[in-house]
Amino acid sequence: MLAYTARRLLIVLVTLLCASAVVFFVLEIVPGDPARLMLGLNASDAAVQALREQMGLNEPVLIRYFAWLGGMARGDFGTSLTYSVPVIELIGERVMVSVPLALIALVMSTAIAIPLGIFTAARRGRPADTAAMAGAQLGIAIPNFWFALLLVWVFAITLQWLPAGGFPGWSDGLWPGLSALLLPAVALALPQAAILTRITRSALIETLAEDYVRTARAKGLPARVVLWRHALRNALIPVLTILGLQFAFLLAGTIIIENVFYLPGLGRLVFQAIGQRDLIVVEGVVVLLVATVVFVNFLVDLAYGWADPRLRRR
């Protein structure tokens, strides 16, 4: 298990290194001089040169890449060109919106999908199953930002139960912040719930066809006990790993949903930074999201290796 973990960890590090290089060099070829951008159009060439020197922009590109990488390893993501505050502070603020949003969506989609997956697998082929699977097909096809618009129209504009957008922050207590995240979380959760329902259902159906389940049935155990005690535990292993992956997808999915609800999260931060050519912020956020995906993948690999010793040899 130790050798397996070390090998996986090495892959994580190499992937992160390559991914960060991709981000850095792609943004490097973007036209526009950050120093001139900071100083405005009327700045003299001498002032721009001086700032370039100060920002280290005149260093060779490889040196700048490793300086940036080294900084991030110490938690220093650089300084935003437009806000003139450390990028890590900006990210820290926005994470307080995006991460709770993704977590609420994850809890919602799990709370819907797992019971529904079990229910449909147990009633495979019956009308309830067919109807739920048709619903899941539809859920996958619905763009979440369109669903978000409908939610705004029904619950914010027509019924006026919840805010249509904006975020009051967490300082006024839990509810004002939570109520602002509720509709976006539902919009994010719906397609994920549809996907997760299908995965839970097919994993459970596959497990129900296994020999040990047949044995449990053959020795006279009631169907309920076979389903809950024997099949479900094994079927949930792939489901749990998918859940881990979904968190990363949900975090990325907030990028568009935050725009529907004008939420000051990571997604809006990236959009604003791109609009203002504040590339160091863009780099920081993208690397952070990539690192989240890679790290969650790593945890999933470990969980698989722990659950199934055969996978450790490869």
Partner 1 sequence: MSTDPLIAAGHEDWRLFVAKARANRSFQAGAVLTLAVLAMAALSLVWTPHDVAALSISDRLQPPSAAHWLGTDHFGRDIVSMIMAGSRNSIAVALIAVGIGVGIGVPLGCWAAARRGLVDEVLMRASDIVFAFPALVSAVMITAIFGPGAVNAIIAIGIFNIPVFARVARGAALALWPREFILAARASGKGAARITIEHILPNIANLLLVQGTIQFSLGILAEAGLSYVGLGAQPPATSWGRMLAEAQTMIAIAPQMALAPGIAIIVTVLGLNLLGDGLRDVLDPKLRRER
CA 159 to chain CA centroid, Å, is 30
Q: Which is nearer to partner 1, 88 or 148 (CB)?
A: 148
Beta carbon nearer to partner 1, 56 or 143: 143
Q: Closest approach of Cβ 16 to partner 1, in Å?
A: 8
Residue 105's nearest CA partner among 33, 187, 30, 25 is 187
Closer to partner 1 by Cβ: residue 13 or 111: 13
Q: What is the closest distance, in whole angstroms, from the C-beta atom of residue 192 to partner 1 in the complex?
A: 13
In the complex, least distance from residue 244 CB atom to partner 1, rounded to whole angstroms: 14
Alpha helices, DSSP H, located in 123-231: 127-141, 144-151, 174-208, 211-218, 223-225
Residue 32 backbone class (left: φ over 0; alpha: ψ -120 to 50; beta: rest): left
Residue nearer to partner 1 on the CB measure, 15 or 47: 15
Burial class (CB in 10 A: 0-12, 13-18, 19+), 75: exposed
d(CA 64, CA 283): 13
Provide, rounded to whole angstroms, the least separation between the CB of residue 86 and partner 1. Answer: 21
Give the binding site for partner 1 (CB under 8 A). 11, 14-16, 18-19, 22-23, 26-27, 30, 133, 137-138, 140-143, 145-146, 149-150, 152-153, 157, 202, 205-206, 209, 248-249, 251-253, 255-256, 259-260, 270-271, 274-275, 282, 286, 289-290, 293-294, 297
Cβ at position 46, least distance to partner 1 in Å: 29
The smaller minimum CB distance to partner 1, of residues 37 and 293, is found at 293
Helices 174-208 and 87-122: crossing angle, nearest 10°? 40
H runs (alpha helix) in the chain: 2-28, 34-39, 45-55, 61-73, 87-122, 127-141, 144-151, 174-208, 211-218, 223-225, 232-261, 266-275, 279-307
Closest approach, Cβ 140 to partner 1, in A, equals 6
| Measured distance CA(169)–CA(182) in Å, rounded | 14
CB closer to partner 1 out of 25 and 170: 25
